[in-house]
A and B are shown apart, each in its own frame.
Chain A
Amino acid sequence: MPEIPGLVKGLGVTFRTMLKGNQTTQYPHEREEPPARARGVIALKEENCTVCMLRARECPDWCIYIEGHKEKRPPRREGGRERTISILDRFDIDYALCMYCGICVEVCPFDALFWSPEYEYSEARIGDLLHDKQKLGEWMETVPEPPPLEVGAQAKKK
């Protein structure tokens, strides 16, 4: 049998593809679920934050603004020392600048930050991409459980 010329074979490929169906996800009607680890948006668990400023320093493009102040609280026990606690005044992330590298989530020593795979937060104005601490706190609902690990993995020591 003589070999089929490449021109004809090529026509066959496109024809078969035409009959086979497609890969499109029609976005506004159907949603694609990103995997649990996807870096969509950063969620803030405010009660864990100690205003240590570590992440504001570590961020490669300085898109995080943290302000806080210290307050004195009465001691827990009688005669004890006065406690000093840090109050978070401002915690903003400018998503117009963020590179989604995830360094801030990692360096946070008290687990106050989490990645959420949520991605639908586009805005008409670039200024609205600055999420304040309340909005970042709302993302907490969308944070999934970390997925189980593949065979042969060692559990990470905390």
Chain B
Amino acid sequence: MTVTEQQRLYVERTAAEARVNVEIETEGMTLNIGPQHPATHGTLRVLVKLDGEQVVEADVVPGYMHRGYEKLTEVRTYPQITTLVNRIDWLSSFANEVPFVLAAETLMEIEAPPRAQWIRTVLFEMGRIGTMCIFLGDMGVQLGAITPVFYGFRDREHVLNLIEAATGGRFHPNYDRIGGLKEDLPKGWIDETKAAMKRIRSFCDQLEELLLGNEIFETRTRGIGVIPPEIGLEFGVSGANIRASGVDWDLRRDEDSPLAWKECDWKVWTHPDGDAFARYWVRLQETREATKIIDQLVDGLPAGPIQAKVPRIIKVPEGEAWVHTENPLGEMGYYIVSQGWLGPFRCKIRSASFSNVSIVPWLLQGVYVPDVITILASLYFILGDIDR
């Protein structure tokens, strides 16, 4: 057999194989999950390429709700910006104000009095509870259990009522001022808070029985969407998502912040598994932990003023500051560049959900369509927090 003969046979054989492959090969189905899909919490668009029900390729297309906050901050004054940043992560609005105000305070070199810092911390944790109530119920509804989400909304109401009683706004408190707070707490607020925390703890027990302990829930979430710690850190995943992968990293404890977390006794929960179940479990524990933090803080609330001395017209001196806190969804930070004007020259907003969602295409490879929903739900993003 000559070389050319061999080559000819080889070419024929591969061509025949190629023909067979072409006949068998079926085209993947491209499915557009979103922007208007019940599982996307708003308008996230996930493009998945399916082979049967298995995901071959996935891509996340954010931006349907872009509101241009970073640009808006450049044409607003500092007091006006706190009301804007409320709307980034709308479930825990108060937690969005705090890092911004702290950054501005750092630049102005003033510090709010301790009472203000404690109340800030209490409301911050209330925002966390409010967010988690939605998450704990919503995860159920994404997996098909319709009841938990109603329990979530029912018991979040206790927290929202407290936030409204103190700040005047249920969703958008706008309570932080540079150098302190708008006004002090109304009478009777502390007792109501303690009663509400009891309700939240019983809500956690209820959900633990209803959803977390449910065998169906376990089979649906165990081993689904596992984030290995090193991959998660590379993608910039933060918050409970990374703690569920066993990374013991919590800015509330690790960062030296003027807020009052260091004053009380609490625990950072981690879970070694890194799957959807672990993320649910960690968030449930964090909700409980938040009620404990609030209980301790309102007990030892120091007396005193709530507002430091600030000039009437707030002008932040030239400089740059970066402050980040552990928000309910993860690490949230503001990088403010000031040139001494009424508003910042540039304000970079680092929001947690954007980084958390960036891991989605990596996680979705090879999973089934129902698991796409489980993974999206367990990562827990807020659309406003992704698109800003």
B166 A58 Cβ-Cβ under 8 A:
no
B209 A101 Cβ-Cβ under 8 A:
no
Which residues of A80-116 are within 8 A (CB) of B? 99-103, 106, 115
Contact of A101 among B77, B174, B187 (CB under 8 A): B174
A150 B79 Cβ-Cβ under 8 A:
no
Separation in Å of the A65 CB from the closest CB of chain B?
18
Q: Write out the residue numbers on chain A whose beta carbons fall within 8 Å of the beta carbon of B77.
A: 58
A154 at the interface (CB under 8 A from B): yes
Q: Write out the residue numbers on chain A whose beta carbons fall within 8 Å of the beta carbon of B210.
A: 9-10, 13-14
Which residues of A125-143 are within 8 A (CB) of B? none
Complex: A102 Cα to B174 Cα, angstroms = 8
Separation in Å of the A23 CB from the closest CB of chain B?
5
Complex: A27 Cα to B174 Cα, angstroms = 27
Which residues of B164-210 are within 8 A (CB) of A? 164-170, 172, 174, 182-190, 206, 209-210
Given contacts A23-B157, A154-B184, contact A6 B168 (CB under 8 A): no
A147 B83 Cβ-Cβ under 8 A:
no
B209 A36 Cβ-Cβ under 8 A:
no
A37 B303 Cβ-Cβ under 8 A:
no
Chain A contact residue count (CB 8 A cutoff): 34
Q: Write out the residue numbers on chain B whose beta carbons fall within 8 Å of the beta carbon of A102.
A: 168-169, 174, 182
A147 B214 Cβ-Cβ under 8 A:
no
Which residues of A1-44 are within 8 A (CB) of B? 5-7, 9-10, 12-14, 17, 23, 34-39
Contact with B along A57-80 (1 / 0, CB 8 A): 010100000000000000000000
Q: How many A-B residue pairs have CB under 8 A?
A: 113
Q: Write out the residue numbers on chain A whose beta carbons fall within 8 Å of the beta carbon of B215.
A: 5-7
Complex: A115 Cα to B301 Cα, angstroms = 27
A101 B83 Cβ-Cβ under 8 A:
yes
Can you name the residue of chain B whose Cβ is closest to the Cβ of A109?
Answer: B312
Contact with A along B145-161 (1 / 0, CB 8 A): 00100010010010001
Can you name the residue of chain B whose Cβ is closest to the Cβ of A148?
Answer: B187
Can you name the residue of chain B whose Cβ is closest to the Cβ of A57?
Answer: B77
Complex: A36 Cα to B187 Cα, angstroms = 11
B84 at the interface (CB under 8 A from A): yes
B388 at the interface (CB under 8 A from A): no
B22 at the interface (CB under 8 A from A): no
B36 at the interface (CB under 8 A from A): no
- Which A residues lie at the B interface, using CB under 8 A? 5-7, 9-10, 12-14, 17, 23, 34-39, 58, 60, 99-103, 106, 115, 147-154, 156
Known: A150-B186, A151-B303. 6 other contacts (CB 8 A): A13-B206, A60-B84, A115-B168, A149-B187, A152-B302, A154-B304
Show 9 A/B contacts (Cβ-Cβ < 8 Å), sorted by A.
A6-B217, A13-B209, A14-B210, A37-B186, A38-B170, A39-B168, A60-B80, A149-B186, A154-B184
